[in-house]
């Protein structure tokens, strides 16, 4: 999905009696209909209607004044602005898409390798998360997908559950005494008991397109689906209750892959070949606050024909370090993140 920074042209014009609609154009007072938090709309309409009409403006169906100001805490992304005009007991409306971008460019970071541990070169890593000193990993590919419990010091698999070959494993997260694992295009997730890693039940996706990455903040689950959306799920029933649009100061950011909750922020791999980066997202508004450049890390693992992209972030809360790996990498790296100079 790609956000276009221009007026989304065609205007929707409706009348109650089906008669020919007048020309109506909504003007926002902003070039290309783009703003940042703190900016104020200057709404008006250009119409072929004669005077003595009433106009009510709506932002995503919520009534607003013509001089509505976006707050610093407003969600970023696309909004629908509607002008509802009433004249002579008739109603007309016109809508326009408006985009709210992040107010500043993301900070740039690099990494410092602290330790290197062995990692299964056959593991097509999709999800990675710590439970104290135990590392849990979800792997993908049809016929090779699994859920694993790992001693990361030795790279030893302590327990493993293989998925049915019809499922392509994706991200995972641990919530209370459960392990939640996504699948890619089957629109289904699985719930396991953390104690014995036995499947207890499954759940179906709703509006989200696919299953990619997963993390949690001890209250909600956060799920990526390959678009620029991160979906917020209720851990009681796994319903999608809200969503975040992930935006930079220039555009939306899609292909968000493996997710990790780190000190109040969401760290996300981006599934882009030749760009081994992790982005830091503010879950309150969707702003990309930072970009971690992992260039050069892939060259430090065994080079082979199945070698794939960086994917897998696990935060060690006690050590306050990140553990990162990739699809079919033979190493797991413990790294410290530092500002890029």
pLDDT higher than threshold 50 for residue 315: yes
Distance CA 213, CA 192 (A): 17
- What is the arithmetic mean of pLDDT over 74-88? 93
User: What tens digit of pLDDT does each residue of 5-28 get?
Assistant: 333 333 444 444 455 678 889 999
Buried b (16+ CB within 10 A) or exposed e, 26-56: bbbeeeebbbbbebebebebebebeeebebe
User: What tens digit of pLDDT does each residue of 104-121 get?
Assistant: 999 999 999 999 999 999
User: What tens digit of pLDDT does each residue of 128-152 get?
Assistant: 999 999 999 999 999 999 999 999 9
Query: Which residue is associated with the tokens 């971008």?
Result: 101
**Predicted local distance difference test score (pLDDT) of residue 272:** 66
Torsion sign across C-alpha atoms 253, 256, 261, 267: negative
- What is the arithmetic mean of pLDDT over 60-66? 93
User: What tens digit of pLDDT does each residue of 237-284 get?
Assistant: 999 999 999 999 999 999 999 999 999 999 999 886 567 899 999 999
pLDDT higher than threshold 50 for residue 330: yes
- What is the arithmetic mean of pLDDT over 120-124? 96
Buried b (16+ CB within 10 A) or exposed e, 283-294: bebbbbbbbbeb
Beta bridge partners of 92: 85
Better-predicted residue by pLDDT, 39 or 73? 39
Distance CA 99, CA 184 (A): 29
**Predicted local distance difference test score (pLDDT) of residue 70:** 93
Place 3 in a pLDDT band, splitting at 50, 70 and 90.
Answer: very low
- Share above pLDDT 70 across residues of the chain, in percent, rounded to a whole number: 93
pLDDT higher than threshold 50 for residue 183: yes
- Share above pLDDT 90 across residues of the chain, in percent, rounded to a whole number: 84
Indicate the pTM of the whole model. 0.90
Distance CA 297, CA 310 (A): 8
The SS3 assignment for 14 reads: coil
**Predicted local distance difference test score (pLDDT) of residue 16:** 45
Distance CA 321, CA 263 (A): 11
- What is the arithmetic mean of pLDDT over 79-99? 93
Which pair of tokens denotes residue 275?
């760009």
**Predicted local distance difference test score (pLDDT) of residue 239:** 97
The SS3 assignment for 134 reads: strand
Enumerate domains of the chain plus CATH numbers: 24-100 (2.60.40.10), 107-339 (2.120.10.30)
Which pair of tokens denotes residue 304?
């082979």
Q: Find, among 231, 247, 278, 229, the residue nearest to 128 by Cα.
A: 278
**Predicted local distance difference test score (pLDDT) of residue 20:** 67
User: What tens digit of pLDDT does each residue of 154-180 get?
Assistant: 999 999 999 999 999 999 999 999 999
Distance CA 112, CA 33 (A): 41
- What is the arithmetic mean of pLDDT over 44-66? 91
**Predicted local distance difference test score (pLDDT) of residue 273:** 54
Place 294 in a pLDDT band, splitting at 50, 70 and 90.
Answer: very high
Place 72 in a pLDDT band, splitting at 50, 70 and 90.
Answer: confident
**Predicted local distance difference test score (pLDDT) of residue 40:** 96
User: What tens digit of pLDDT does each residue of 185-213 get?
Assistant: 999 999 999 999 999 999 999 999 999 99
Cβ pair 256, 45 in contact under 8 A: no
Place 73 in a pLDDT band, splitting at 50, 70 and 90.
Answer: confident
């Amino acid at each position: 999905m790609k956000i276009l920074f221009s007026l989304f042209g065609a205007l929707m014009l409706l009348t109650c009696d089906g008669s020919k609609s007048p020309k109506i154009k909504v003007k926002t007072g902003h070039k290309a209909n783009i703003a940042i938090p703190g900016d104020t709309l200057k709404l008006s309409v250009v119409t072929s209607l004669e005077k003595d009409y009433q106009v009510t403006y709506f932002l995503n169906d919520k009534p607003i004044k013509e001089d509505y100001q976006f707050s610093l805490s407003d969600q970023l992304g696309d909004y629908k602005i509607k002008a509802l005009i009433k004249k002579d007991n008739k109603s007309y409306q016109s809508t326009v898409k408006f985009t709210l971008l992040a107010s500043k460019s993301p900070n740039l970071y690099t990494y410092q390798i602290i330790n290197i541990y062995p990692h299964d070169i056959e593991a097509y890593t999709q999800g990675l998360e710590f439970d104290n000193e135990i590392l849990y990993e979800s792997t993908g590919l049809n016929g090779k997908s699994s859920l694993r419990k790992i001693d990361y010091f030795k790279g030893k698999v302590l327990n493993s559950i293989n998925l049915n070959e019809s499922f392509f494993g994706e991200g995972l997260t641990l919530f209370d005494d459960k392990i939640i694992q996504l699948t890619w295009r089957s629109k289904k997730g699985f719930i396991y008991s953390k104690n014995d890693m036995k499947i207890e039940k499954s759940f179906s996706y709703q509006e989200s397109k696919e299953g990619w990455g997963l993390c949690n903040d001890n209250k909600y689950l956060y799920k990526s689906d390959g678009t620029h959306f991160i979906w917020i799920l209720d851990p009681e029933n796994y319903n999608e209750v809200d969503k975040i649009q992930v935006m930079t100061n220039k555009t939306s950011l899609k292909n968000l892959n493996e997710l990790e909750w780190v000190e109040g922020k969401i760290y996300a791999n981006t599934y882009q070949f030749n760009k081994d980066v992790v982005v830091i997202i503010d879950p309150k508004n969707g702003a990309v606050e930072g970009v971690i450049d992992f260039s050069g890390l892939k060259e430090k693992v065994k080079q082979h024909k199945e070698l794939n992209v960086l994917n897998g972030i696990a935060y060690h809360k006690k050590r306050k370090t990140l553990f990162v790996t990739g699809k079919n990498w033979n190493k797991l790296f413990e790294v410290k993140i530092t500002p890029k100079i």
